[in-house]
Amino acid sequence: MSEIEPNSHLETNRIRHHRRRHYIDASIQGRLFWAMLGMETILFTGSLLWLYQDLSVVIESNLYRIHYVSDNTETSLFSVLWKIIPFVILFNLVAIWLADFVWRSYIKRIIRTLEKFIQQAAKLDLRIMSMDRHVEHEVLKKASLWQQHEQQRYRNLRKAAGALPSELSLETDSQRAQADESLLRLKQLL
Q: How confident is the model at residue 2 (pLDDT cuts 50, 70, 90)?
A: very low
The verdict on 10 and 64 lying in the same domain is: yes
pLDDT score, position 21: 57
H-helix or E-strand spanning residue 147: helix 138-162
CB contact set of 76 (below 8 Å; sequence gap of 6+): 54, 58
Angstrom distance (rounded) from CA 66 to CA 50: 27
Domain end point (choices 136, 159, 181): 136
- Mean pLDDT, rounded, for 79-93: 84
- Across the chain, mean pLDDT equals 76
| Overall number of domains in the chain | 2
Domain range for 12 is 1-136
Residue 125 and residue 173 in one domain? no
Q: Are residues 111 and 147 in the same domain?
A: no
Percentage of the chain modeled with pLDDT above 90: 4
